[in-house]
């Protein structure tokens, strides 16, 4: 049985071992430029371009055809998208899933709404891979990953909310707080998959303390945790070190935000996904 895992590019994964995999890119538009969020994207160059770019910049989710192409000839497809509360990606993937199953009777597609993004999608993909390798029935894999998703939590700390506000994803009034030197917004993915601002922190020390407090309060007890950062290696290592100290058994990793998450998280941003108990 040929199984395939498909993620949209908000999952920050361009390759994946041991199982057939495809990443479907979102696109970042800025003036004359279209940045396709695939493995060839030069993230640094995109961020530099955006910094200089004075006009509007927007993003676009994949279309139904992009998903159909990614499903290819797999007999069972497990697809994970960014939260349906912030993007049309889940909708496009769901339409593609129906079309694919109509065109190929006997094949199966399940689309998971991650209700989150980035690191949570990586953790879900890893869970999928484990269950697929056990050769479990399709429905068992689906319910296993759904149950796992409910245990995943995500927080983020951003230096700027400019692109989120300019694209209608957070109110301008909330975004106005950032931009002042050293102020970071702290937020999380809510249970319904909405972006929820929960506080702010001024200065590196307070930010680190706030990140630790939130991660602990949201139920982290030493499982898998991924810190994705946008050009903030120092912040990510400081957080990883503090977490390893507090949770010596924690499986903590650092990675880079891809194109889409970098666009919205902006320089200095961190997105932290983890298993809660
Ligand atoms: O369809 C599209 O054009 C994509 C729109 C995506 C909008 C938001 C992406 C946010 C990414 C910010 C922090 C994480 C928030 C997660 C909340 C559920 C990064």
Strand partners, 113: 81
To test the pocket of ligand 1, the residue of 87, 153, 166, 184 to mutate (highest count of ligand atoms within 8 Å of its CB) is: 87
Distance, CA of 81 to CA of 5 (rounded, Å): 11
Lowest mean pLDDT among 128-132, 151-155, 157-161: 157-161
How much helix, strand and coil, in percent to the nearest 5, is found in the chain? 40, 30, 30
Please, which pLDDT band fits residue 179 given cuts at 50, 70 and 90? Answer: low
Is the CB–ligand 1 distance for residue 111 below 6 Å? no
For residue 244, what pLDDT is reported? 98
Residue 59 Cβ < 6 Å to ligand 1 = yes
Rounded-to-integer distance, Cα 176 and Cα 162, Å? 8
Q: What pLDDT was estimated at residue 54?
A: 86
Q: What separation in Å is there between the alpha carbon of 115 and the centre of ligand 1?
A: 10
Return the pLDDT at 180.
66
For the cut 90, the answer to whether the pLDDT of residue 177 exceeds it is: no
E strand or H helix at 102: helix 89-103
In short, whether 24's Cβ falls inside 6 Å of ligand 1 is no
pLDDT of amino acid 6: 98
Ligand 1: distance of its center to the CA of 83 in Å? 8
Answer yes or no: is pLDDT of 214 > 90.
yes
**What's the whole-number average pLDDT of the chain?**
95
| Angstrom distance (rounded) from CA 240 to CA 244 | 6
As a residue count, the chain comes to: 277
User: pLDDT, tens digit, for every residue of 78-133?
Assistant: 999 999 999 999 999 999 999 999 999 999 999 999 999 999 999 999 999 999 99
pLDDT value at residue 140: 98
Task: State the closest ligand 1 atom to the C-alpha of 82, by its place in the atom list counted from 1.
Answer: 6
> Which of 5-15 are b and which e, b meaning 16 or more Cβ less than 10 Å from the residue's Cβ?
bbbbbbbbbbe
Tokens of 277: 């108990």
Question: In this predicted model, which residue has the larger pLDDT, 161 or 65?
Answer: 65
For residue 226, pLDDT beyond 80: yes
CA 250/CA 226 separation, integer angstroms: 10
Binding site membership of 117 for ligand 1 (Cβ less than 6 Å): yes
């Amino acid at each position: 049985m040929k199984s395939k895992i498909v993620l949209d590019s908000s999952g920050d994964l361009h390759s994946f071992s041991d199982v057939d995999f495809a990443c479907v890119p979102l696109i970042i538009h800025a003036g004359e430029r279209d940045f396709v969020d695939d493995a060839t994207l030069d993230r640094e160059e995109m961020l530099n371009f955006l910094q200089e770019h004075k006009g509007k910049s927007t993003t676009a989710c994949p279309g139904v055809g992009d998903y159909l192409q990614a499903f290819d000839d797999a007999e069972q497809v497990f697809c994970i998208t960014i939260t349906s509360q912030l993007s049309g990606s889940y909708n496009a993937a769901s339409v593609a899933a129906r079309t694919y199953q109509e065109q190929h009777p006997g094949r199966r597609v399940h689309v998971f709404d991650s209700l989150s993004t980035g690191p949570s999608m990586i953790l879900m993909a890893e869970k999928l891979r484990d269950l697929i390798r056990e050769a479990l029935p399709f429905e068992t894999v689906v319910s296993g990953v759904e149950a796992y998703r409910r245990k995943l939590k995500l927080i983020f700390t951003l230096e700027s909310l400019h692109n989120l506000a300019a694209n209608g994803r957070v109110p301008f009034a909330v975004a106005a707080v950032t931009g002042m030197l050293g102020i970071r917004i702290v937020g999380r993915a809510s249970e319904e998959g909405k972006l929820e601002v929960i506080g702010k922190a001024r200065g590196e020390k307070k930010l680190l303390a706030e990140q630790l407090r939130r991660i602990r309060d949201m139920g982290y007890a030493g499982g898998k945790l991924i810190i994705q950062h946008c050009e903030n290696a120092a912040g990510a290592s400081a957080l990883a070190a503090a977490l390893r100290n507090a949770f010596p058994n924690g499986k903590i990793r650092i990675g880079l935000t891809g194109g889409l998450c970098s666009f919205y998280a902006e320089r200095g941003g961190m997105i932290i996904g983890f298993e809660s108990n």
